[in-house]
Structure 1
Amino acid sequence: MDELQDVLKQHAMIMKATTALFYGILVSIAMNFFWEPGHIYSSGITGLAQLIGTLTKNCPVHLSTALMLFVLNIPLFVLGWRQIGHRFTLFTILAVFCSSVMIKAINPVPLTKDPIICAIFGATINGFGTGLALKNGISTGGLDILGLTIRKHTGKSIGTINLIFNFFIILAAGEVFGWPYAFYSALSIFINARVMDMVYTKQQKMQVMIVTTKPKSVIDCIQNRMRRGITIVHGAEGAYKHDEKTILFTVISRYEQPELRRAMIESDPAAFVSIADNVHIMGRFYEPEP
């Protein structure tokens, strides 16, 4: 059993390292093939690194986007190491390092300079890479670490900080390249966020209602697979056969939906299960440590 757990841990680490490398390749393609040729800025720390790279392009010391992407993340690595976890931070460092190296190593290929095409395709590629990295339990650095730290201590997100930071990036794009490019960058940031949400589903909450005649079996099976609280409503009655049933309520993330399906097949395949998407949560919702 211990040997199996060691093999699974090694497999998980290899998967995370491979994902970090794959993310680095995707972000470099987005940057070198689309964003840079189209004068489009990304969101967060990546956008700030682009801005510094643009402003120092004609200076005696040019601070490249690849270099600044890693340098600007160093304080956040320290924060992640102290507040989140060592393994999580090591894989984050690997992901950011791969990104910086790949942006420098892969030669830019300007497929088009159309800013709308560059905004859409660059954001789609980067959003997919970021979502994939988060789905596999690694961060891509930047404001992710700050957000995880704040959420860990307060249970709140940093939506306002993200909004202000990205608004600054959009204004910078307008000042440097002209105001139409501010709108193109805003479009890119929006698409990047939407694609990332489509791939990374852990933050999407779903309310589950289960009508069952085997409540104990269902509860035990769900809680063995997922750390989720369940509310029990006794004394329900089926309108067709008038048999006694129990209603169970819980909230899961979309990422856990396959586990819920397996738990229901194992515990009560005849149960009626209703799932509502995009519910809003007030209070703390357990999320596993990264």
Structure 2
Amino acid sequence: MKQIQHKKLTKGKIALRVLLITIGAVMMGVGLEIFLVPNKVIDGGIVGISIMLSYISGWSLGLFIFILNLPFFFIGYKQIGKTFALSTLYGISVLSVTTTFLHPVPAITQDVLLATVFGGIFIGIGVGIVIRYGGSLDGTEILAILFNKKTPFSVGEVIMFLNLFILSSAGFVFTWDRAMYSLIAYFVAYKTIDITITGLDESKSVWIISENYDLIGDSIMNRLGRGVTFLKGEGAYSGDDKKVIFCVINRLEEAKLKEIVTENDPSAFLAVADIAEVRGGRFKKRDIH
């Protein structure tokens, strides 16, 4: 059997990855030390545990972040791969150094709500950049992947359970109002990670089944400037041949597309779903004349 040769990253791509992971890790460090930590608000995951241990012991936050995440570097190496593990180790190292250097810097604001929101935004952007370029800044996700293989729970369910337990613990270490602020910071960071990874121009896949497929297809191409693909389908009950229209749009075009479908066939089947990324093909929008 012919062995598959994996392409190595070029020096330019490696340099870009290192630069962006550095930026992402520094941004997370800013979110922690300039906003959350001085106001006794924590993040989820291993970082949240590190913040509480640092507060209790008086030791460096960066030290706890590095030591507690280190076992997950080895798990990630085995479970996901060498490139991911090395990217993660580098990102965590930069994050640890950043928090150590920024610790003496005073907080920008003493308003806990402002600190919570802006800290969450900085953390979300930082984590999102690192994930987008092949790394991680917290071992919780890797632990969740491991639990997922041993238990019936999904990765998302495991992460949610672990983070609820960690964030709730802030009530015992700090105060219960800080635990509630921590939940807000986690939610803001979570949503910001999604936006950073998928981008503001979120794409949607569209599936349409209609007898007037030709009219709908022409309208989508001419009025939206989107390419369409006709797929062959068959009704499971009737056995009739069907034409399925497939295309990709952004969220701003969804209302216009629904209008086009309704105009040409009010009874058409229409399904719209979110997709994280689109590459290649003929799905790029062209100018409408």
- SS of aligned partner of 1:192: helix
* Counterpart contact for 1:201–1:253, Cα < 8 Å: no
CA distance in structure 2 between the aligned counterparts of 1:43 and 1:235, rounded to whole angstroms: 48
Q: 2:135 matched to 1:134?
A: no
* Counterpart contact for 1:93–1:141, Cα < 8 Å: no
Shift of 1:80: 0.8
CA distance in structure 2 between the aligned counterparts of 1:109 and 1:77, rounded to whole angstroms: 32
Shift of 1:152: 8.0
CA distance in structure 2 between the aligned counterparts of 1:145 and 1:21, rounded to whole angstroms: 20
Shift of 1:163: 2.2
CA distance in structure 1 between the aligned counterparts of 2:18 and 2:112, rounded to whole angstroms: 33
Seen in structure 2, the aligned counterparts of structure 1 residues 265 and 159 have a Cα distance that, compared at 3 Å, is closer
* Counterpart contact for 1:49–1:65, Cα < 8 Å: yes
Give structure 2 stretches of 5+ with no counterpart.
1-6, 215-228, 236-240, 248-271
Q: 2:117 matched to 1:98?
A: no
2:70 aligned partner: 74
Seen in structure 2, the aligned counterparts of structure 1 residues 182 and 234 have a Cα distance that, compared at 3 Å, is closer
Larger C-alpha radius of gyration, 1 or 2?
A: 2
Seen in structure 2, the aligned counterparts of structure 1 residues 156 and 198 have a Cα distance that, compared at 3 Å, is farther
Seen in structure 2, the aligned counterparts of structure 1 residues 265 and 98 have a Cα distance that, compared at 3 Å, is closer
Give structure 1 stretches of 5+ with no counterpart.
214-229, 237-243, 271-290
Could you give the per-residue CA deviations for residues 130-177 of structure 1, whole angstroms, max 9, x where no partner exists?
111112222223212234456689997322322222222222221222
CA distance in structure 1 between the aligned counterparts of 2:37 and 2:138, rounded to whole angstroms: 21
1:224 aligned partner: none
Shift of 1:206: 4.5
2:277 aligned partner: 256
72-81 or 245-254: bigger deviation = 245-254
2:49 aligned partner: 48
* Counterpart contact for 1:84–1:149, Cα < 8 Å: no
Seen in structure 2, the aligned counterparts of structure 1 residues 14 and 178 have a Cα distance that, compared at 3 Å, is same
* Alignment map for 1:1-290 (pairs within 5 Å): 9-57=10-58, 62=59, 64-106=60-102, 107-149=104-146, 157-201=154-198, 206-209=204-207, 232-234=231-233, 246-248=243-245, 254-257=275-278, 259=279, 262-264=281-283
Seen in structure 2, the aligned counterparts of structure 1 residues 158 and 186 have a Cα distance that, compared at 3 Å, is same
Shift of 1:210: 6.7
Normalising to structure 1: TM-score of the pair? 0.69
CA distance in structure 2 between the aligned counterparts of 1:9 and 1:81, rounded to whole angstroms: 21
Seen in structure 2, the aligned counterparts of structure 1 residues 171 and 122 have a Cα distance that, compared at 3 Å, is same
- SS of aligned partner of 1:139: coil
RMSD of equivalent CA atoms:
3.5
Shift of 1:56: 0.6
Identity of aligned pairs, percent?
Answer: 25
Seen in structure 2, the aligned counterparts of structure 1 residues 154 and 77 have a Cα distance that, compared at 3 Å, is same
CA distance in structure 2 between the aligned counterparts of 1:232 and 1:174, rounded to whole angstroms: 55
Normalising to structure 2: TM-score of the pair? 0.69
